[in-house]
Amino acid sequence: MKKGNPIALLPIGVFLVLYLGLGILFEYILKIPMGFYNVPVVVAFMVAIFAACLQNRKLNINQKLEVMAQGLADKNIITMLLIFLTAGAFVGVTGRSGAESVAYFMLSIIPARFAVAVLFIVSCFVSTAMGTSVGTITLLTPIAAAVSGASGFSLPLCAASVMGGAMFGDNLSFISDTTIAACNGQGCAMHDKFRENFKIALPAAIVTLIVIIILSFKTDIASVIDNDYDLVNIIQYLLVLIGGILGINVFIVLIAGIVTGSVIALLTGQSSPVNILTDMGTGVSGMFETCMVAVLVSAMCALIREHGGFDALLGLMRRTFKGRRGGQVGMGLLVGAMDIATANNTVAIVMANPIAHEMASIYGITPRKAASILDTFSCVFQGILPYGAQILVAISALHSLGYEISAFDIIPLLFYPMLLLVSSLIFILFSKPDTNKT
Q: pLDDT (tens digit, 9 = 90+) per residue, 61-109?
A: 999 999 999 888 877 678 778 877 887 788 788 765 665 676 677 667 7
Count of structural domains within the chain = 1
CA 180 to chain centre: 10
Whole-number Å distance between alpha carbons of 217 and 170: 29
pLDDT band at 200 (very low <50, low <70, confident <90, very high): very high
Whole-number Å distance between alpha carbons of 286 and 293: 13
- pTM, 2 dp: 0.73
Whole-number Å distance between alpha carbons of 122 and 143: 11
pLDDT band at 305 (very low <50, low <70, confident <90, very high): confident
Residue 213 domain-assigned?
yes
Residue 438 domain-assigned?
no
Residue 436 domain-assigned?
no
Residue 388 has pLDDT above 70, yes or no: yes
What percent of the chain clears pLDDT 90, i.e. is strictly above it?
Answer: 21
pLDDT at residue 1, rounded to an integer: 47
Residue 127 domain-assigned?
yes
Whole domain around residue 212: which residue ranges? Answer: 6-430
Residue 317 domain-assigned?
yes
Answer whether 334's CB lies under 8 Å from 12's CB.
Answer: no
Residue 115 domain-assigned?
yes
Residue 437 domain-assigned?
no
pLDDT band at 2 (very low <50, low <70, confident <90, very high): low
> What Å distances lie between residue 97 and 118, 136, 261, 267, 397, CA to CA?
18, 12, 10, 14, 18
Answer whether 84's CB lies under 8 Å from 283's CB.
Answer: no
Residue 99 domain-assigned?
yes
